[in-house]
């Protein structure tokens, strides 16, 4: 059954439009509260939902709206304030809350916002529960009796709890003393927490993108724009750079030579670290966008490899199906189920750094075992509801590209799950050919989109 409102990562949109208006978010909060109450044994007062947010200015508005909606459903609220998404997942689980809600649009600009939901286990909600929330949302809103309305509390030690959990994800004897790190916090949810985590472990941290003003989240900074980080790593003579996205569930790195290290390479290093520590890995999950070089490198380690659809929920599904623990996306959304329940930029970065320190190697050396195939992705904006991928001209262009790659590359077209875009990806051994083919296909997609 197709979901009407939930996407692959919750709900997201431009502030003031669609579901991302205060009145709709209030009713969503109420719907979530009603569904949770129906699943609880005992009184509605036993229900408690934690709410956290990133640094967007609209977070204040939506926080208040959710609080009102949940209270109207008879559910208590614990307000965490600005927190990375994985921190909210962690506290949802450890506080034994009925659910966790994150107010964030991840890597999107400040004028977008969204809602992500976590189960009591700190995992994304399953499809059945999302369908149920959608059904209740479309019903008439009924307010709980006055004596049963929910209360709201603000948690003062949320940051400290999560900081300790991050530090506990690596061995107690690992110190980062001597490491000089430039850290780009994307003016987002990690701006205060991430520098503290790495500093407390002994690293010298030079923080940038750590002055959020509500409008500058993800603006020419963070994991989606690593240019400034590359420059700063070189200027500072740092050992490496770390870049998070706006809500802190993704991470990319920069090595001491100024080369960007993406999620595929980081996942490869984490797999190596687990094998080096004698841990049972079994296999690694990537996505349809994962570089072919990473797949080959993982198999060279003697591990199995599987691809899921793009999106962390699909990575997680494939991990659970295979009973594996590590997987992720090229974008830097990495899941280490042996350390946490969801993608966590800080925890993922710590796994990499712990390996570098333990093995006494640089980030540049650690990634050297993986040779990436040239890969180019072009985002083509959509202008209507028609699907350009159904165009015969687009399909013919793809078929011709696959013939020219002759089995030594891949072509992938897919709609974005969060933005009105078609992503065109071409991968192969010959960079010039890859570029030519990607541009040819993208041009056909653009023409088909305009014609529609």
* DSSP letter (8 states) at residue 421: E
Determine the pLDDT at residue 44. 40
Partner residues linked to 151 by β-bridges: none
**What architecture (CATH level 2) is domain 375-451?**
2-Layer Sandwich (3.30)
Q: Which of 266, 264, 67, 255 is closest to 150 using CA atoms?
A: 67
Given this model, what pLDDT does residue 327 score? Answer: 98
pTM, two decimals, is: 0.89
Average pLDDT for consecutive 10-residue bins of the chain (452 residues)?
A: 82 96 97 84 64 98 98 96 97 94 96 95 89 95 95 96 98 96 98 98 98 98 96 98 97 97 98 95 94 93 95 92 97 96 97 97 96 93 82 93 89 84 92 95 91 71
Helix (H) or strand (E) holding 93: helix 85-94
Name the strand (E) or helix (H) holding 59.
helix 58-72
Rounded Cα–Cα distance for residues 435 and 437 (Å): 6
Matching fold, domains 11-157 and 262-372: yes
Question: Domain 11-157 - what CATH class?
Answer: alpha beta
Residues 6+ apart with CB under 8 A from 22: 61, 62, 64, 65
Nearest-angstrom CA–CA distance, 168 and 170: 5
Q: 262-372 in CATH: which number?
A: 3.40.120.10
Assigned CATH topology for domain 177-259: Alpha-D-Glucose-1,6-Bisphosphate; Chain A, domain 3 (3.40.120)
pLDDT at 45: 43
Cβ-based neighbours of 125, under 8 Å, separated by 6 or more: 99, 117, 118, 119, 133
Gap between the Cα atoms of 224 and 186, Å rounded: 9
Name the residues annotated as catalytic.
106
Task: Report the relative pairing of strands 48-53 and 76-82 from DSSP bridges.
Answer: parallel
Please report, for the chain, the start and end positions of each structural domain, with discontinuous segments joined by +.
Answer: 11-157, 177-259, 262-372, 375-451
Q: Please give the angle made by the CA atoms of 9, 229 and 193, to the nearest 5 degrees.
A: 60
Token match 């093995």: residue? Answer: 359
DSSP 8-state code for residue 83 = -
Confidence at residue 1, expressed as pLDDT on a 0 to 100 scale: 63
* pLDDT tens digits, one per residue of 330-351: 999 999 999 999 999 999 999 9
Contact present, 281 and 138 (Cβ < 8 Å): no
Residues 118 and 89: beta-carbon distance below 8 Å: yes
Q: What is the DSSP string of 301-351?
A: TT-EEEEE-SSHHHHHHHHHHHT--EEE-TTS-EEETTT-SS--HHHHHHH
| CA 7, chain centre distance (Å) | 14
Give residue-wise pLDDT tens across range 268-285.
999 999 999 999 999 999
């Amino acid at each position: 059954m197709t979901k009407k409102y939930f996407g692959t990562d919750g709900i997201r949109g431009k502030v003031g439009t669609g579901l991302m208006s205060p009145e709709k978010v209030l009713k969503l909060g109420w719907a979530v509260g009603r569904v949770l109450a129906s699943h609880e044994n005992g009184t509605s007062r036993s229900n408690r939902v934690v709410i956290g947010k990133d640094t967007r200015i609209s977070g204040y508005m939506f926080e208040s709206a959710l609080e009102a909606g949940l209270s109207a459903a008879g559910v208590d609220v614990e307000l965490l304030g600005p927190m990375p998404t994985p921190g909210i997942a962690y506290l949802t689980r450890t506080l034994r809350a009925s659910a966790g809600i994150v107010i964030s649009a991840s890597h999107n600009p400040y004028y977008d916002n969204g809602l992500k939901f976590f189960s009591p286990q700190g995992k994304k909600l399953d499809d059945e529960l999302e369908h149920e929330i959608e059904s209740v949302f479309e019903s008439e809103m009924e307010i709980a009796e006055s004596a049963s309305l929910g209360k709201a509390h603000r948690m003062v030690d949320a940051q400290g709890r999560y900081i300790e959990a991050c530090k506990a994800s690596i061995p107690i004897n690992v110190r980062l003393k001597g490491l000089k790190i430039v850290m780009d916090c994307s003016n987002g949810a990690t701006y205060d927490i991430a520098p503290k985590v790495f500093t407390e472990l002994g690293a010298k941290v030079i923080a940038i993108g750590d002055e959020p003003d509500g409008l500058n989240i993800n603006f020419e900074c963070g994991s989606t724009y690593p240019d400034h980080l590359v420059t700063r790593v070189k200027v500072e003579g740092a050992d490496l750079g770390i870049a998070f996205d706006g809500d802190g569930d993704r991470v990319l790195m920069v090595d001491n030579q100024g080369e960007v290290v993406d999620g595929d390479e980081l996942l490869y290093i984490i797999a190596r670290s687990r094998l080096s520590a004698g841990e049972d890995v079994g296999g690694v999950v990537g996505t349809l966008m994962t570089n072919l070089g990473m797949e080959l490198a993982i198999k060279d380690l003697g591990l199995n490899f599987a691809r899921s659809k793009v999106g962390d929920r699909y990575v997680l599904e494939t991990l659970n199906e295979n009973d594996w623990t590590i997987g992720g996306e090229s974008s830097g959304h990495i899941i280490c189920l042996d350390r946490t329940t969801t993608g966590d930029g800080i925890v993922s970065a710590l796994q990499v750094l712990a390996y570098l320190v333990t093995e006494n190697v640089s980030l540049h050396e650690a990634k050297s075992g993986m040779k990436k195939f040239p890969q180019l992705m072009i985002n083509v904006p959509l202008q209507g509801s028609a699907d350009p991928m159904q165009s015969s001209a687009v399909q013919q262009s793809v078929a011709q590209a696959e013939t020219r790659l002759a089995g030594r590359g891949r072509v992938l077209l897919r709609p974005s799950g969060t933005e009105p875009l078609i992503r065109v990806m071409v991968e192969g051994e010959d960079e010039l050919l890859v570029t030519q083919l990607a541009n040819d296909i993208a041009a056909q997609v653009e023409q088909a989109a305009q014609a529609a």
